[in-house]
Structure 1
């Protein structure tokens, strides 16, 4: 029985790694002008949100797989709406980066997540600046700078888009902790998509009208819309979200972190094979290695914080019951699943 359970756990981890890597590579292939040539990242993100929202609606309202949470207008307006806005922004900017920089370099830039999350957490007052944590974020930053310096095809526009998306995602994670936890809401992947995907679709609709609607009309006149490509792409993104839920139920936070690191290295290697224009230099590898050291240091410090809080009787009960993922939002796959991150997480999902 133990062997069967262990085998199924590793199977879920493998499915998660393959789906996560596959979605990222699939998005790059669809968006890249050199391949499928659909250079409309907002449109692609809207397709994902619309599809995910529709599936979630049928699962909740028609098939009644799960029950919707008690959601008032005040909670929706003050919690779901701002979280959806930054969720949409992170996906929009992250997908746009695919047009300008390689998958390998994107994965290296995503190592900045601890820096972005730490800054946003301090600004929102849910974390305090500490020397050891500050040192780990500087180590990550230094590693990313080295990787950027070693990037042969460095592109300022793509880098700005990716970094902006990282900070938007960090702020979304922090807002989730500040807003939803205060309301006592717990969203599983289905209810997350049910509430957040439609709202994110609306937020994406505005920049779509301004930036891509006219170009899309010209594109449709010159090209035939391939339904199966976009359907399979959106289906993979949805499957990734549910695979995260299965992995969280089977493994611990540390195992998920290790799986994330394995996925990142696999993506970097695969992207150079699938997309020949991607080139990895020695400085890329050295810089990313330094950044990973900073990430491991950050997680180690946060694990110790959780252990101390669990051993301190004077701490508040809700502080004691926070799990590792809630204390380390930078790489939190469980938090990502709770709020329905269907893609990007692109970086850790």
Structure 2
């Protein structure tokens, strides 16, 4: 295993562990502590992420790079749009339809990247993704009722989600920055942009909440986890691809469903079980195929380097 492969595996594991932990932490905050401000919590997450990155900068973890606001604005708008439209989609649609739209994120990413970003996907990759999405659909989608308005909102949320994930990767190349530098510029601006969204989405003027010490601690802990979730998202997409990040998300879903059944008395029936097994088969198949293709690409690059080196040697010999 190369050092780069080790770093990728570390980023994948970091995202998986932190994402699963934050799901259960937020569940406690929302249900046991009656904190009903989901969008505001997301803004707090990005504030703590920005604060954490500032500390990392002081510690020399990364070298800050000032990026033009106009260049990162689409990324910030994409994130805020994703948060806002996702919340609206949950209001207008059933949970089943909401989950169905989430399943469509992966094929939509493949379509967008193929049509507009000249990205190619092998038949084996497409088949493995199909198996994965079928599994997720079986495990999560039940009643998929929706209205016309709800469908339009859900499709808008789907499109913006895909574009946000794609931009997380392309902006790093376009602006010649790493994951830390990009998120360091995006997090504060996204936090500020989310505050007015939270004001209306969470109906802050008409709600009053006086948090106690344990609630404040859990919110802070959730923000701490969000720091690792956010930076690992940027690292995973930057080092792999938006599609790989989505496949990782499907794996996390299987873990969350399984843990919910084992420890929290969540529902588990034959359909959900078959869905989890099918999803895991698709995830492992995608991982295997992707690793094979990466090895082939590395071998081709190595052969090209050797051929170029031989050509240079021949040219030098002739000149002598």
**TM-score, L = length of structure 2:** 0.66
Q: Of 264, 267, 280, which aligns to 2:256?
A: 267
Q: 1:87 to 1:244 in 2, by over 3 A?
A: closer
How far residue 136 of structure 1 moved from its aligned partner, in angstroms, is 3.0
Inter-partner Cα distance in structure 2 for 1:19 and 1:268: 16
Q: Of 53, 56, 64, which aligns to 1:56?
A: 53
Does the CA contact (< 8 Å) of 1:143 and 1:288 recur in 2?
Answer: yes
Query: Deviation digits for residues 39-72 of structure 1, max 9, x if unmatched?
Result: 2211110111112213323443x56553202x34
Does the CA contact (< 8 Å) of 1:50 and 1:201 recur in 2?
Answer: yes
Equivalent in the alignment of 1:174: 166
Q: 1:12 to 1:132 in 2, by over 3 A?
A: closer
Q: Partner of 2:64: helix, strand, or coil?
A: coil
Inter-partner Cα distance in structure 1 for 2:251 and 2:73: 34
Unaligned ranges ≥5, structure 1: 1-9, 248-255, 318-349
How far residue 23 of structure 1 moved from its aligned partner, in angstroms, is 0.7
**More deviation in 37-46 or 123-132?**
123-132
Inter-partner Cα distance in structure 1 for 2:43 and 2:294: 38
Q: 1:63 to 1:309 in 2, by over 3 A?
A: closer
Q: Of 212, 224, 233, which aligns to 2:222?
A: 233
* 1:12-51 matched pairs, under 5 angstroms: 18-32=17-31, 35-51=32-48
Unaligned ranges ≥5, structure 2: 1-8, 237-244, 306-320
Equivalent in the alignment of 1:216: 204
Q: Of 77, 100, 110, which aligns to 2:70?
A: 77
1:301 equivalenced with 2:298 (yes/no): no
1:204 equivalenced with 2:186 (yes/no): no
Q: Of 115, 129, 135, which aligns to 1:137?
A: 129
Inter-partner Cα distance in structure 1 for 2:123 and 2:36: 43
Q: Of 66, 84, 106, which aligns to 2:62?
A: 66
Q: 1:266 to 1:142 in 2, by over 3 A?
A: closer
Equivalent in the alignment of 2:184: 194
Inter-partner Cα distance in structure 2 for 1:262 and 1:148: 13
Q: Which has more helix, going by share of residues?
A: 2
How far residue 236 of structure 1 moved from its aligned partner, in angstroms, is 2.8
**TM-score, L = length of structure 1:** 0.62
